[in-house]
């Protein structure tokens, strides 16, 4: 009689307990990862917008020098006209301010660059003790403070609504026209403005 050898193929899979353990581990990892992802996302968004603003200020200053004239940057909601007001998150315009040099875009003045509204409803304010809606760079690259009450030293403050000031970032500006990023000089977790005070968010 011929004896046939029977081979059994082992089946691989998960037991119910193994599956439940895997689900619990995945849930724990998600709880750890989601806040970290949100934190990184918010910080990257704010840093990106500060970089865009820094680039616009640098452009305005360099164009003022190269064109040997006044170049201004102003707050704008439609990117075609300057607006008064306290906040800049609606956008801004960089333009040759050579007709009236009043910090406002007038007929015949060339627009160099525009920027649309900031994403994520971030709050951007320019202040030097009082809110400002424009900055003028003279042909030497310095801030023009003529005309009465024009901007001098100050800070652009960028905040995310509903988030603490630890997320806030600033661009500090001096009368020389230099713009530099805010820092947390006293290591308390919050960046400081041009006067050395902690940035505060509404």
Tokens at residue 189, please? 């977790």
- Residue with structure tokens 């956008």? 91
- CA distances for 62 relative to 50, 104, 172, angstroms: 18, 19, 17
Domain ranges of the chain: 16-63+118-181
d(CA 128, CA 169): 16
Phi, psi of 42 (to 5 degrees): -65, -45
Task: Give the pLDDT band (50/70/90) at residue 4.
Answer: low
Task: Give the pLDDT band (50/70/90) at residue 110.
Answer: very high
43-72 per-position pLDDT tens digit: 899 999 999 999 999 999 999 999 999 999
In this model, does residue 149 exceed pLDDT 90? Answer: no
How is domain 16-63+118-181 classified at the CATH fold level?
minor pseudopilin epsh fold (3.55.40)
In this model, does residue 130 exceed pLDDT 80? Answer: no
Task: Give the pLDDT band (50/70/90) at residue 95.
Answer: very high
In this model, does residue 108 exceed pLDDT 60? Answer: yes
Helices (H), 6-140: 16-67
Phi, psi of 197 (to 5 degrees): -90, 150
Give the pLDDT score at 120.
84
- Residue with structure tokens 């920027």? 115
- Mean model confidence pLDDT for the chain: 85
What is the pTM (predicted TM-score) of this model? 0.79
């Amino acid at each position: 009689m011929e004896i046939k050898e029977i081979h059994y193929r082992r089946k691989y899979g998960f037991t119910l307990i193994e599956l439940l353990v895997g689900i619990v581990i995945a849930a724990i990892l998600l709880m750890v990862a989601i806040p970290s992802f949100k934190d990184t996302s918010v910080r990257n968004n704010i840093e990106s917008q500060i970089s865009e603003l820094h680039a616009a200020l640098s452009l305005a200053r360099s164009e003022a020098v190269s064109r040997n004239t006044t170049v201004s940057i102003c707050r704008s909601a439609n990117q075609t006209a300057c607006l008064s007001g306290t906040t800049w998150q609606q956008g801004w315009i960089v333009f040759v301010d050579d007709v009236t040099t009043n910090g406002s875009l007038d007929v015949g003045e060339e627009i160099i660059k525009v920027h649309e509204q900031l994403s994520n409803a971030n709050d951007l304010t320019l202040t030097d003790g009082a809110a400002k809606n424009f900055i003028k760079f003279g042909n030497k690259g310095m801030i023009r403070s003529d005309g009465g009450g024009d901007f001098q030293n100050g800070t652009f403050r960028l905040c995310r609504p509903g988030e603490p000031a630890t997320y806030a970032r600033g661009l500090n500006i001096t009368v020389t026209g230099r713009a530099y990023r805010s820092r947390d000089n006293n290591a308390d977790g919050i960046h400081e403005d041009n006067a050395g005070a902690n940035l505060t968010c509404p």
